[in-house]
Amino acid sequence: MAKSLAVKAKSLVIVESPAKTKTINKFLGSKFTVMASIGHVKDLPKSNLGIDIENGFAPQYVVIKEKAKTIKELKKAGKSADKIYLATDPDREGEAIAWHVADEIDAKREKTFRVLFNEITEKAVTSAIAHPTVLDKDKFDAQQARRVLDRLVGYQVSPILWDKVRRGLSAGRVQSVAVRLICDRERAILAFVPKEYWSIIAELTGGASGSVFTAKLSKKAGKKLEIGNVNEAAAILKDLEGARFRVSEVETRQTKRNPAPPFTTSKLQQEASRKLGFTAKKTMMLAQQLYEGVEIGAEGPVGLISYMRTDSTRISSEAIVAARSFIETKFGKEYLPASPVVYKTKKKAQDAHEAIRPTYFKHDSDSVNKYLSKDQARLYQIIWNRFIACQMSPAIIDQTRVQIEANDYTFNASGSVIKFQGFMAVYVEGKDMEEEEEGRLPVIKKDDVLDMKTLTPCQHFTQPLPRFTEATLVKELEENGIGRPSTYAAIISTIQDREYVVKDKTQLKPTELGFLVTDLLVGNFPKILDVEFTAHLEEELDLVEEGKMKWVDALTEFYGPFKESLEKAKKDMKNVKTDTVSTDISCEKCGNPMVIKWGRKGKFLACTGYPECKNTKDFTTDGGGNVVPQERVVETTDAVCPKCGSQMAIKSGRFGRFLACTKYPECKSTMPYSTNIPCPECSEGKLVERRTKKGGRVFFGCSTYPKCSYAAWKLPKAGEAEDAGGEETKGAG
């Protein structure tokens, strides 16, 4: 009889991302199988609300169609495993994925464990496996409450917008508040009335060096001076003719400048926007790659940073020790504070994770650059530098303030000198607005008489607050407690995809559609669009996670007033589709009056003789508010119609730009809009502009599709044989 061989079952570790499996497998070895759920495996159905409102808001989760095969494979592996470790991300979203995976693979609870690690290092992973915990019901409920809240708003408000404005629009519990902030800022800018004011700058020389420096007029007879117009400025210049400029006071004091705390998610998004020009979405994509693992030569995949979704500035003692050792070795003892620098985490922050920091101090930014993409390297460098700087000594700066008297007037000058760089040797935080930097002053002393070289009056006008950039919008959302840092990238991306906001260089500008939808929502759902109310909901979600509030109670409190607003909006919200504004303009084709209507691209003039007459026109309004029709400019191209040989013109439609025959409607031939850049993949076709079916986002695909399926979000330069921007749009069309 053959002797049976007993094979010890492996333990199964389930993570979210396939990119992590390789890194974690390296640490755990052959006794473990590491598999990925590839994100969420269950969600609310797309075809209906999926929430039983009458029975405690019970969500009706369904398996995501594309994940059926993944679940089957996880279930099979789970049956033969001696233990199952659910190692999805250590946040609410990761907790929900862990719960849903556990439900679907039907594993026995006694052999299923939850493991959490803040970084993908050997020590963190093996320690988590050695000290497993259980699934966190409160954290799962907090995520579930957010998901249900967002579904209730999105799936019940959006259809009203479809009915009253146009199909394809969306409302969101947080995204709509973000759009409102942008619209409110734009209205404040439009309403702003600039106020004139003047300054007077003196160019002076003095001291042993005879160096030139500038001083600004600030007071008259000891009182603050405000110069309102050119006549007032001229009168002051006359008063100062022949004046003696004497130094009346010199004050030099030494100040300390402390380093910025290590990165939280929102601060990383802000700084990457300011310093690197990255969108929030791009920053999070690159940070995810650095967290999950990058191939570092013979070392294999290495997770270079700690978990990138956090609002805590806490740092582990091990990381502080490693950073202090690095600072002392690299910069010397004078750059190392006597004791570690500890940063206070904000009161409302979730302190489950550390700040974003490097995981291995042997991998400084210079040593790993060659293994990273250009953008990965740039992001890793600011994470590395910011973290090292946060544990360094303060900078010491000598600041000098000089007061200069001339007749009855006082001028001020200031300058600063860095005496000791401290943390500034490594990193200085970026700013949202350009700040005037103080120059150096010559060595001057009290009672020195200075030579006045020039006296220059300068006209200024007060400026409104600037439009939001991605960085300042993230800052505004965070300061107002709206959403969570992990959601900001998706919010900013969504409001642009929905065409509520456009990016003008780096600034976020609301569209006419953004204004319209915001006004309709504010008028009909004032609470949903209220900043304080949205922040209050976030606080309640935090209470659910802390076990201090039942998730159903939070939803019940929200839904009563919301339902009333919902029913009222269905009846009372203005129907933009049927709403028209009369004008005194007559249709040149049929003579009927024309009215202003709302269309897919905003307001336009339409003939009241429709459908017999389909004449439409663009228009503008003059300074008096009068409607001025605009002739549409037909942008022709060198392309020739394949059917009739006429010129082709550039047109815009539902799926973006395209070429249409100029003989329309006699000839209805169309062609894709070509960039004339050869396809980097097949070299046969040209890249043409297309839009995704979902969201209408522009991408570039090969004209020979489906023969060649190359697609990219970013248009490559002619001759580039690499992926455009590294973000493939597989299946985008």
pLDDT digits (tens, 9 = 90+) for 487-524: 899 999 999 988 899 988 889 999 999 999 999 999 99
For residue 157, give the CATH number of its domain.
1.10.460.10
Do both 449 and 518 map to the same domain? Answer: no
Do both 36 and 131 map to the same domain? Answer: yes
Do both 593 and 625 map to the same domain? Answer: yes
Non-local (6+) Cβ contacts of 303 within 8 A are 20, 23, 119, 120, 121, 290, 291, 292, 293, 359
Do both 602 and 675 map to the same domain? Answer: no
In a domain, 717, yes or no: no
Q: Is the pLDDT of residue 85 over 60?
A: yes
Please list the active-site residues. 307
In a domain, 505, yes or no: yes
CA–CA distance, 341 with 728 (Å, rounded to integer): 42
CA–CA distance, 141 with 544 (Å, rounded to integer): 7
User: Maximum CA pair distance of the chain?
Assistant: 120
Query: Among residues 630, 648, 665, which one ends one of the domains?
Result: 630
Non-local (6+) Cβ contacts of 339 within 8 A are none
The predicted pLDDT at position 3 comes to 40
Do both 612 and 703 map to the same domain? Answer: no
Find the angle CA(368)-CA(373)-CA(379) to the nearest 5 degrees. 75
In a domain, 271, yes or no: no
Per-residue pLDDT band for 4 (boundaries 50, 70, 90) equals: very low
Do both 534 and 485 map to the same domain? Answer: yes
Q: What is the pLDDT of residues 563-601, one digit of tens each?
A: 999 999 999 999 998 888 899 899 988 999 999 998 877
Q: What is the pLDDT of residues 384-428, one digit of tens each?
A: 999 999 999 999 999 999 999 999 999 999 998 889 999 999 998
pTM: 0.81
Q: Is the pLDDT of residue 348 over 60?
A: no
- Name the token pair of 423: 């943390």
Do both 214 and 187 map to the same domain? Answer: no
Q: What is the pLDDT of residues 646-683, one digit of tens each?
A: 888 888 665 667 888 988 878 888 888 887 788 888 87
**Contact assessment for residue 393 and residue 335, using Cβ atoms and an 8 Å cutoff:** yes
The predicted pLDDT at position 665 comes to 75
In a domain, 368, yes or no: yes
Find the angle CA(590)-CA(591)-CA(597) to the nearest 5 degrees. 90
Residue 244 DSSP one-character state: -
Name the least confident of 2-16, 300-314, 557-571.
2-16
Query: Among residues 461, 487, 514, which one ends one of the domains?
Result: 461
Give the distance from CA 710 to its chain's centroid.
27
- Name the token pair of 624: 């008096």
In a domain, 6, yes or no: no
**Contact assessment for residue 114 and residue 43, using Cβ atoms and an 8 Å cutoff:** no
Q: How far is CA 271 from CA 192, 309, 434, 494, in A?
A: 29, 15, 14, 21
In a domain, 372, yes or no: yes
Query: Among residues 427, 461, 495, which one ends one of the domains?
Result: 461
Per-residue pLDDT band for 708 (boundaries 50, 70, 90) equals: confident
The predicted pLDDT at position 539 comes to 93
Q: What is the pLDDT of residues 592-631, one digit of tens each?
A: 999 999 887 778 999 999 989 988 888 888 777 788 888 7
Per-residue pLDDT band for 730 (boundaries 50, 70, 90) equals: very low
**Total domains, the chain:** 6
Residue 716: CA count within 13 A, CB half-sphere = 23
Do both 369 and 516 map to the same domain? Answer: no
Do both 90 and 182 map to the same domain? Answer: no
- The range of the structural domain enclosing residue 236 comes to 196-258+395-461
CA–CA distance, 206 with 445 (Å, rounded to integer): 10
The predicted pLDDT at position 675 comes to 79
In a domain, 484, yes or no: yes
Do both 117 and 187 map to the same domain? Answer: no
Q: Which amino acid belongs to residue 612? A: E
Instruction: Give the residue-averaged pLDDT of 58-64.
Output: 95
- Name the token pair of 134: 């259980």
Instruction: Give the residue-averaged pLDDT of 29-55.
Output: 93
CA–CA distance, 177 with 501 (Å, rounded to integer): 13
Would you list the DSSP string of 77-94? HHHH-S-EEE---SSHHH
- Name the token pair of 457: 């009056």
Dihedral sign (CA 646, 652, 657, 658): negative
More confident residue, 347 or 130: 130
Q: Is the pLDDT of residue 727 over 90?
A: no
Do both 129 and 213 map to the same domain? Answer: no
> 680: cis peptide before it, omega within 30°?
no
Do both 362 and 408 map to the same domain? Answer: no
For residue 338, give the CATH number of its domain.
1.10.290.10
In a domain, 720, yes or no: no
Dihedral sign (CA 171, 432, 259, 303): positive
CA–CA distance, 100 with 125 (Å, rounded to integer): 22
Q: Is the pLDDT of residue 350 over 60?
A: no
- 3-state SS of 275-310 is HHCCCHHHHHHHHHHHHHCEECHHHCEECCEECCCC
The average confidence (pLDDT) of the chain is 88
The predicted pLDDT at position 63 comes to 95
- Name the token pair of 651: 């047109």
